[in-house]
Amino acid sequence: MTDSKPDPREVPQTKLLKTLLLLAVIYTLYLAKSLLIPLFFSAFVALLLSPLIAVAKKLYIPRTISAAALMVLLVAPFTFLGLELAEPAERWIQALPKMATEITDEIDELSDSLVDEQNNTVAEPKKESDSFFDWFDEDDEDAPQEQVETQESESAVTDKLKQNSIEMAFTVLSNAPLLLAQIFACIIFIFFLLVFGPGLFKVFIRDFPLVSNKRRALVLVHYIQKELSAYIVTISLINGLLGLVTALVFSYLNIDDAILWGALVALMNFVPYLGGLASCSILLVAGLVQFGLVSTAFLPAAVFLGINIVESQLVTPAVLGKSMQLNPLIIILWLSVAGWLWGVVGVLLAVPILMSFKIILENIGALPHWVKLIETK
C-alpha cells in the first residue's frame, strides 16, 4: 500500500485561507468595536476584582453582595472625581472657540502689521505725469487687487480656525451620551462577570470536551490571571501616582486646574511614549493660555516632562522588571493598529491586551518566536 503524496496546491490554498481568515477577524473587530470595547474593558476590571470576590466567598459572603459592594467602591471614587473635573473640563470646552478667536485676532494683527511694513517699504511717490503711455500703467490697479486677495485669504484662515474649534467642541458634547451609555454598559458587564463568570468557567472546564487536561487548565488559568492582575494593578498604581504627583506639583506652582491635568496625564500615561508626548503638548497649550507668550508658559510642560522621565526611566522599569517589558517598536506598531481599529479607547487598551497575549503564549508554550519578538529589547 503506497503512501499518498500531498497535493502541492494545498499549501498555497492553506495560506490563502489563513490570510482570508485574518482579514475577516480584523474586519469583525473593526465593525464590532462598539460591542467589543466594553467587553474587553469589563473583562480586565473583572479580572482584577475576582480575587476579592473569592476572598469574600471564603468568608461566606454571597457573590451578589460582594460584587455589588465592590462596584460601589469602584464607581464612587471615579464619580466624585468626575464631578470635580466636570466644571474645569466644561470651562475648557467652552473656551475653545474663544481661544481660537483670540489666536486668529493675534494672527490678523501680526499679518496687518506685516502688510503695513511691506506697503511702507515698497511704496514710492506717485509720478506727476500726463503722458499718453501712463494710461496703460497697471501698477496702481494691481495693488488694490493684491490687497483684497490678501484680506480674503486671511479672512478664510480665520473663519476656518473658528469653525474647527466650534466643530471640536460640538463633537465632544455630542459624543458624551454615547460615552455615558458605554460606561453604564461596562458597569453592568463587570457585575455579571463577577457574579456568574466563575460558574460558567468551571462548567466549561469540567464538561466541555475541548479541554483534555482539566487540572492543568485550571492551574494555568489561575497563573495567567495572577500575572495579568499583577501587571494591570502595577501599571494603574504607577499612573495614578504620576497623576497625583503632577497635580500636587502644579498646585504648589499655582497652575490652574491642577487636578484636571493630573487626571489627564494619569489617563494618557496608559499609552506608552505617545501618551507623554500628547500630555506635554496639551500642557504647553494650557501654559500659553494661563501665562501668555512668556517663558513661564513652558513651566507646566517642562515640570511634567521631568516627572515623566523619572517615572518612565527609573520607576516603571524597576517595579515591573524585565519580564514585563515590551519592545518599543512593537508597542508603537500595535498602538497604531489598535487606534485604527478602536480609536482612542483602543489605544488605551492596546498595551494591556498585548501584555495579556504575551503572558498567555508564554504559559501555554505556543508561538515562542512571537513571544521573543514582543519582548526583545
For residue 97, what pLDDT is reported?
A: 65
Quickly state the pLDDT bin for 308 (edges 50, 70, 90).
Answer: very high
For residue 1, what pLDDT is reported?
A: 47
Q: Do the domain assignments include residue 193?
A: yes
Name the more confident of 58 and 376.
Answer: 58
What string of H, E and C letters represents the secondary structure of 276-316?
A: HHHHHHHHHHHHHHHHCCCHHHHHHHHHHHHHHHHHHHHHH
Could you list the residue range(s) of the whole structural domain that residue 193 is in? 35-106+176-211
Q: Do the domain assignments include residue 364?
A: no
Q: Which of 149-163, 289-303, 344-358 has the least mean pLDDT?
A: 149-163
For 5-35, the pLDDT digits (tens) are 555 555 677 888 888 888 888 888 888 888 8
Q: Do the domain assignments include residue 121?
A: no
Report the C-alpha gap between 60 and 62 in whole angstroms. 6
Average pLDDT, the chain: 77
For residue 7, what pLDDT is reported?
A: 55
For residue 303, what pLDDT is reported?
A: 93
Neighbour-count burial of 194, counting CB atoms closer than 10 A to its CB (0-12 exposed, 13-18 middle, 19+ buried)? buried
Statement: residue 302 has pLDDT above 70? yes
For 258-283, the pLDDT digits (tens) are 888 999 999 889 888 888 898 998 89
Q: Do the domain assignments include residue 265?
A: no
Q: Do the domain assignments include residue 88?
A: yes
Q: Do the domain assignments include residue 168?
A: no
Statement: residue 156 has pLDDT above 80? no
Residue that has been written with the C-alpha cell 500615561 in this structure: 269
Q: Do the domain assignments include residue 64?
A: yes
**Number of domain units in the chain:** 1
Q: Do the domain assignments include residue 79?
A: yes
Statement: residue 179 has pLDDT above 50? yes
Global pTM value: 0.71
